[in-house]
Amino acid sequence: MPRPRSLTQGQIAAAALAVIDRDGLAALSMRTVAGELGMSTMALYRYVGDRDELEGLVVELVLDGVDASPPPGATWQERITVLAGRVRERVGAHPGVVPLTMTHRHRSAGILRWSETVLGVLAEAGVEGPERVVALRGLLSYLIGAIQLEHLGPLSGEGTAAIAGLPRAEFPRMAETAGHALLIGAEEEFHGGLAIVLRGIAART
Amino acid sequence: MPRPRSLTQGQIAAAALAVIDRDGLAALSMRTVAGELGMSTMALYRYVGDRDELEGLVVELVLDGVDASPPPGATWQERITVLAGRVRERVGAHPGVVPLTMTHRHRSAGILRWSETVLGVLAEAGVEGPERVVALRGLLSYLIGAIQLEHLGPLSGEGTAAIAGLPRAEFPRMAETAGHALLIGAEEEFHGGLAIVLRGIAART
DNA sequence: AATCGTAAGCGTATGTCGTACGCCTACGAG
DNA sequence: CTCGTAGGCGTACGACATACGCTTACGATT
């Protein structure tokens, strides 16, 4: 009977994501998103309860875009690598939302499906019971940390600069390591770390 | 010649940390910290350039409290476990600062010393060159992710509730896994995941 | 075709935030 | 005793989230 809604939550989320992608996370506000949609600020509150919920929708939009279907791959390690890569790729396409993903991760049905698929692959690999819980959480921990390190770590090269300027006498290993670090790309680093975790799961006692 | 400073940056950071520990991260503002110190709001700006710098000081205070001395332990795995545990313990004592640690991590000299020590232990273990960089970053990724998962994951049990209410038919593995998850404490989960990473480093090709 | 209840959409207002700017004043060197 | 410097503070401004109440478009009913 009443007036129909003119926008879906998906359109709201898309507008917010557009603001973040264009002007950065700091530019996200109820005003900017409303402006992006051509509505007044308060009209937005007919669609979302508060700013927090808006952020949740953005994360949902990004994370639900992750393909959770069982991936190709000869071994279970390859399959999990594909699955992890999908998350990294999708989130990496919108670096601004990285800080939001942690707090709103649980709202995404897509990421739950993704977890379900990962658990299936782990089961294939013979990982069972509590061991499988620990493996999944370990994998998730690495994935979260690695993505954050990749996108929030340098922060305009501040970190790299700090390490480069370290007193070599007091930090001999760091200085040496910084040299090696230059030879390694982000991609290689991510997959190298992931390979460590996968070897660790495979080599369970 | 001029009037001497009446406060150190350490005292400022301690006041801010007290606010966070008592009233949560959301309560942190220039006004509340100034109030905690018994000064006016603007007096604070004689000590810190802006809010961002204040946050950096808090992270520094927390992270510099991590003992970076070479730890006891028969094997290198045990030594790294002790080192990682120190960070988890220290940060876990101030859960409110967890969201700040990622963005301001690099400002802490203490965490650099900690990294130096970790690199030393990895060297002992025979991990060299670029392989050592990947191992350190992998370890860091896991540590960051695990700590965040531990402190931002449940968020008033919202995540657990969401998983518990999942349609069993569509998410058979998740349902099964949730059951196992109840048997595992946070401590056990953290060390289990860390053990995976350490096994993965040990089993390097 | 006329009516009317409902919810969409908006304008205004409040309180909080970070912080720019300028004044006053305590201090220690001369 | 004096005076330049820098510490400390009050006021003010613009941006923010959001509570509240008004107006208006719509579609189901008459």
Identify whether A2 is part of a domain.
no
Q: Are residues A104 and A191 in the same domain?
A: yes
pLDDT at B155: 52
Query: Comparing C-alpha atoms, which of B94, B117, B97 is closest to residue B107?
Result: B97
Helix and strand tally (H, E) in chain B? 10, 0
Identify whether B38 is part of a domain.
yes
Query: How many residues would you count in chain A?
Result: 205
- Whether any strand D atom is under 7 angstroms from the Cβ of A51: the reply reads yes
Using an 8 Å Cβ cutoff, are A170 and A119 in contact?
A: no
Identify whether B1 is part of a domain.
no
- Whether any strand C atom is under 7 angstroms from the Cβ of A137: the reply reads no
Q: What letter does residue A26 receive in the DSSP assignment? A: G
pLDDT at B2: 76
The verdict on a CB contact (< 8 Å) between B119 and A174 is: yes
Q: What digits encode the pLDDT tens for the residues B5-63?
A: 889 999 999 999 999 999 999 999 999 999 999 999 999 999 999 999 999 999 999 99
Identify whether A113 is part of a domain.
yes
Q: Residue B28 sits in which domain range? A: 9-49
In chain B, residues with a C-beta closer than 8 Å to the C-beta of A189 are 133-134, 137
If you write DSSP's letter for every residue of chain B in order, what string do you get?
--PPPS--HHHHHHHHHHHHHHH-GGG--HHHHHHHHTS-GGGGGGT-SSHHHHHHHHHHHHHTTS--SPPP-SSHHHHHHHHHHHHHHHHHT-GGGHHHHHHHGGG-HHHHHHHHHHHHHHHHTT--HHHHHHHHHHHHHHHHHHHHHHHHSSTTTHHHHHHHTS-TTT-HHHHHHHHHHTT--HHHHHHHHHHHHHHHHHT--
In the block, tokens 């007044």 appear at: A40
**Burial zone of A54 (CB within 10 Å; 0-12 exposed, 13-18 middle, 19+ buried):** buried
CA distance to partner chain A, nearest, from residue B33 (Å): 23
Using an 8 Å Cβ cutoff, are B122 and B76 in contact?
A: yes
Q: Touching check for A173 and chain B: CB below 8 Å?
A: yes
Name residues whose C-beta falls within 8 Å of residue B133's C-beta, 6 or more positions apart in sequence: A177, A180, A181, A184, A189
Q: Are residues B14 and B114 in the same domain?
A: no
Q: pLDDT tens digits for chain A (205 residues)?
A: 778 888 999 999 999 999 999 999 999 999 999 999 999 999 999 999 999 999 999 999 999 999 999 999 999 999 999 999 999 999 999 999 999 999 999 889 999 999 999 999 999 999 999 999 999 999 999 999 999 999 987 554 556 666 777 888 999 999 988 888 888 999 999 999 999 999 999 998 6
Pairwise CA distance, residues A193 & A127, whole Å: 20
Number of domains present in the structure of chain B: 2
Q: Are residues A135 and A43 in the same domain?
A: no
The verdict on a CB contact (< 8 Å) between B180 and A130 is: yes
Residues in chain B with pLDDT < 70?
154-162, 205
Q: Which CATH number fits the domain that encloses residue A184? A: 1.10.357.10
pLDDT at B61: 98
Q: Which CATH number fits the domain that encloses residue B39? A: 1.10.10.60
Query: Comparing C-alpha atoms, which of A132, A92, A97, A131 is closest to residue A115?
Result: A132
Identify whether A56 is part of a domain.
no
Q: Are residues A27 and A122 in the same domain?
A: no
Q: Are residues B80 and B43 in the same domain?
A: no
In chain B, residues with a C-beta closer than 8 Å to the C-beta of A192 are 134, 138
Q: What digits encode the pLDDT tens for the residues A119-154?
A: 999 999 999 999 999 999 999 999 999 999 999 875
Q: Touching check for B42 and chain A: CB below 8 Å?
A: no
Q: Are residues A99 and A40 in the same domain?
A: no
pLDDT at B165: 78
Q: Touching check for A183 and chain B: CB below 8 Å?
A: yes
Using an 8 Å Cβ cutoff, are B97 and B13 in contact?
A: no
Name residues whose C-beta falls within 8 Å of residue B7's C-beta, 6 or more positions apart in sequence: B37, B39, B47
In chain B, residues with a C-beta closer than 8 Å to the C-beta of A109 are none
Two tokens at A81?
């690598």
Q: Are residues B80 and B15 in the same domain?
A: no
pLDDT at B163: 75
Q: What digits encode the pLDDT tens for the residues A68-81?
A: 999 999 999 999 99
Q: Are residues A102 and A143 in the same domain?
A: yes
Contact residues, B window 52-111, toward A, CB-based 8 Å cutoff: 99, 102-103, 105-107
Identify whether B61 is part of a domain.
no
Identify whether A131 is part of a domain.
yes
Q: Are residues A94 and A44 in the same domain?
A: no
Using an 8 Å Cβ cutoff, are B16 and B25 in contact?
A: no
Q: Are residues B35 and B92 in the same domain?
A: no
Two tokens at B100?
């700040």
User: What does the angle CA B144 – CA B149 – CA B153 come to, to the nearest 5 degrees?
Assistant: 150
Identify whether A69 is part of a domain.
no
Q: Are residues B45 and B80 in the same domain?
A: no
Pairwise CA distance, residues B100 & A70, whole Å: 36
Q: Are residues B45 and B118 in the same domain?
A: no
Pairwise CA distance, residues B51 & B14, whole Å: 15
